[in-house]
Chain A
Amino acid sequence: MVDERTAPGQQSLQLILARNLISTLSTPAMIVDTHETVVFYNEAAGDFLGMRYEETGKMSLHDWRAAIGSAGGPIPEDQLPISVALRERRPVHITTEVHPDDAAERSIEMLALPLIGTEDQHEGAVGVFWPHVGDQP
């Protein structure tokens, strides 16, 4: 078995390719590694949250939950699709209310997929989110 994660200072190929993909998307998207670190989010996600990856760099999933927020505080961990996808290795889709800093509360859909590499190697998860259709102007 090849363990891509163990090369010092090197992301796995699955995460590299995922970053390549979401970098080109206008849909807000993010990548989390198996250490529950948000290792990348794209420009659209940054626009949504009011911050830029180039400025924040990596962040813990805990901090991410706080940033995406909701009126009642951070989204509970067990309700954040990317947390569930990461821990249970299954796809998750929800519609929820969020309240990022400096923005009005809004309804969004969130989808997360686990990234399972060769020989069932767990590499992390990718999450995308977009305004709930019913809320679009």
Chain B
Amino acid sequence: MPAPGPATARYGGNTSCVQVSLSDGTTIVLDAGTGIRPLGLSLDPAAGPIHILITHLHIDHIQGLLFFAPFFDPRADITIWGPPASGSLEHRIGRYLSAPLSPVDVRELPAAPEFRTCPAPVWNVGSAEVRAQLVAHRGPTLGYRVAEGASTVAYLPDHEPALGGRLEGYEDEWISGFALASRASLLIHDCQYADEEYPSHRGWGHSAVSDALDFARRTAARRTLLFHHDPLHTDERLDVLAGEVARMWAARAGAGEVSLAVEGNEVEL
């Protein structure tokens, strides 16, 4: 759930949303958490196509949809991609964008967004090649790999690859999400729990710090941003966690750079 306020002012309190700007002017938006509200206000709806790639339909990943300003501009060209499941993506998202949860029905949006289930196995979005794959989380959940030229972003915000055992015990092919993240320029990965918090949350679909770092090391991502902070973690708590991350990453002798994601940060690849 979103947790904006003074206690989360530095790392950010919005739920998952990442903008990827492609060289051809296409905008990819990874998830539609509450972070999509300020993002929408900063976009020119007529500037180019907007593709929203939804990993899964848990509320923290679609909660901002109703407040995405380009939806209310008929000039906007918007496509929403999402995971396969029973029923159309429009119908499933329509459960949220309809009464009694919403005053506006999905069919009333002036931009008339197109809803599409992710095709197999790779497809093009603007100048990028996108790959989607089901990953270990509760319910049908996709991870994404967006590649343009030599740059790749792997996005696995809700992911528990170590469910059932530590990653070092598995071959690469048996690690959920491995192919998506392998040697990515930038890996954005779940790290909701401190190690001591994880045992009481095992099976909820999120990673502990150790497991996120093991995943980053095994996949050899050049840079990793630890993402999806627990809403109970304040800036002060995350500062402590960042110190633990640095120490644990050094102990693993990982080659890439690892840090906690901070809302509003920009990375050029």
Contacts and interface: CB of A to CB of B under 8 A. Distances in A.
Closest 9 CB pairs between A and B? Answer: A20-B164, A3-B120, A10-B179, A6-B121, A7-B179, A13-B134, A118-B84, A3-B121, A1-B120
B163 interface: yes
A119 B174 contact: no
B191 interface: no
Interface of A: 1-4, 6-13, 16-17, 19-21, 23-24, 40, 117-119
A101 to B, nearest CB: 26
Interface of B: 83-85, 117-121, 131-136, 140, 142, 163-165, 172-176, 178-180, 182
A1 B178 contact: no
B173 to A, nearest CB: 5
Contacts of A16: 136, 174-176
A10 B180 CA distance: 9
A20 B172 CA distance: 14
Interface of B is mostly: loop
25 contacts: A1-B84, A1-B117, A1-B119, A2-B119, A2-B121, A3-B120, A4-B133, A7-B121, A7-B131, A7-B180, A9-B172, A9-B178, A11-B173, A13-B133, A13-B135, A13-B136, A13-B176, A16-B175, A17-B164, A20-B163, A23-B165, A117-B134, A118-B84, A118-B85, A118-B140
Contacts of A40: 174
A23 B164 contact: yes
Given A2-B84, A2-B132, A7-B133, 11 more contacts: A2-B117, A4-B134, A7-B131, A9-B172, A12-B134, A13-B136, A13-B176, A17-B164, A20-B164, A23-B164, A118-B85
A8 B83 contact: no
Most-contacted residue by chain A among B119, B120, B135, B136 (CB, 10 A): B120
Contact of B179 (A2, A8, A17, A23): A8
Contacts of B165: 20, 23
Contacts of B133: 2, 4, 7, 10, 13
A8 B83 CA distance: 20
A9 B178 CA distance: 9
A10 B134 contact: no
A10 B171 CA distance: 10
A87 B135 CA distance: 26
B134 A118 contact: yes
B190 to A, nearest CB: 15
